[in-house]
Structure 1
């Protein structure tokens, strides 16, 4: 991975995208989104993760965040959520795509020596340091407009799994620090 996509500044605020392998639409189920939210909340409480903005789309997650050891936090978050999301899919009797999703995660793991039986997230992550107010505003707008551009909602704050609610003055799903 090039240095361009790593969190090199321990005091920096980063825009990060985590993507499901093969862009599989996993986060169409509330239970799977809740697992990611619970994991992010844990990282906030136990791993010094500060969230400024976030959005869970159907096949990827956007975060604007910081932490003293951000790369380690994201590694742990991905490792934990991978295991528990795969288990949630396996144990969901209503999951109509179970066999297909598990096959896809297994196929991805077979191509990588660093994974066990299943690989949920694509390798690495896309880290962009938000070193200027202009970059911060651009990425914040992009993140919150994602569900609107995908035609899931008409207004950003209508998307439950996003910090857009907080920025609209409503109570969101996760605790965040508003970017002023």
Structure 2
């Protein structure tokens, strides 16, 4: 018998900066074409303005997303829920599917120092290189 414990509350970042990761259910693709990527980025931009987010870095891979964000006028969990629900609605409508697209809730790491901020930016931008999708990143 497996007993599922309730998940713990997300630890609030003192700086308000988070490295956020979203993954497709069972590592399934969440971006099938350029339109999907553009739509997701448009949603990030829309909520960037509404929630006054700061976007430091992002990387859309086929089956997961990395974002480096500073929360604005609302809790990062609320903003990420809005982005996730909006994209899943678009995705399910476009691909005539139902149900979950993302695996669990988003994962996040607090970024509390300038040094770690730079490390995470490098990590996010190197993701496509490490996955063999590109040879180098042009910034």
How far apart are 1:133 and its partner, in Å?
2.4
How far apart are 1:7 and its partner, in Å?
5.2
**Cα root mean square deviation, aligned:** 1.6
**Structure 1, unpaired ranges of 5+:** 91-101, 103-116, 158-167, 169-180
Alignment-derived partner of residue 64 in structure 1? 68
How far apart are 1:82 and its partner, in Å?
0.7
Alignment-derived partner of residue 2 in structure 1? 8
Q: 1:124 to 1:86 in 2, by over 3 A?
A: same
State whether residues 7 and 71 of structure 1, in contact with CA within 8 Å, keep that contact through their aligned partners in structure 2.
no
* Aligned mates of 2:39, 2:102 — CA distance in 1: 14
Name the structure with the higher strand share. 2
* Aligned mates of 1:40, 1:2 — CA distance in 2: 26
Residue 16 (1) aligns with residue 26 (2): no
Deviations 1:149-173 (A, max 9, x none): 111111122xxxxxxxxxx2xxxxx
Alignment-derived partner of residue 122 in structure 2? 141
**Structure 2, unpaired ranges of 5+:** 1-6
Aligned positions, number: 131
SS of residue paired to 1:78: helix
* Aligned mates of 2:37, 2:20 — CA distance in 1: 17
Question: Which of residues 78, 83, 87 is equivalent to 2:93?
Answer: 87
SS of residue paired to 2:20: strand
Residue 76 (1) aligns with residue 57 (2): no
State whether residues 20 and 109 of structure 2, in contact with CA within 8 Å, keep that contact through their aligned partners in structure 1.
yes
* TM-score normalised according to structure 2 size: 0.86
* Aligned mates of 1:18, 1:26 — CA distance in 2: 10
Q: 1:72 to 1:124 in 2, by over 3 A?
A: same
Residue 48 (1) aligns with residue 52 (2): yes
State whether residues 15 and 111 of structure 2, in contact with CA within 8 Å, keep that contact through their aligned partners in structure 1.
no
Q: 1:7 to 1:63 in 2, by over 3 A?
A: farther
Alignment-derived partner of residue 35 in structure 1? 39
State whether residues 16 and 64 of structure 1, in contact with CA within 8 Å, keep that contact through their aligned partners in structure 2.
yes
SS of residue paired to 2:134: coil
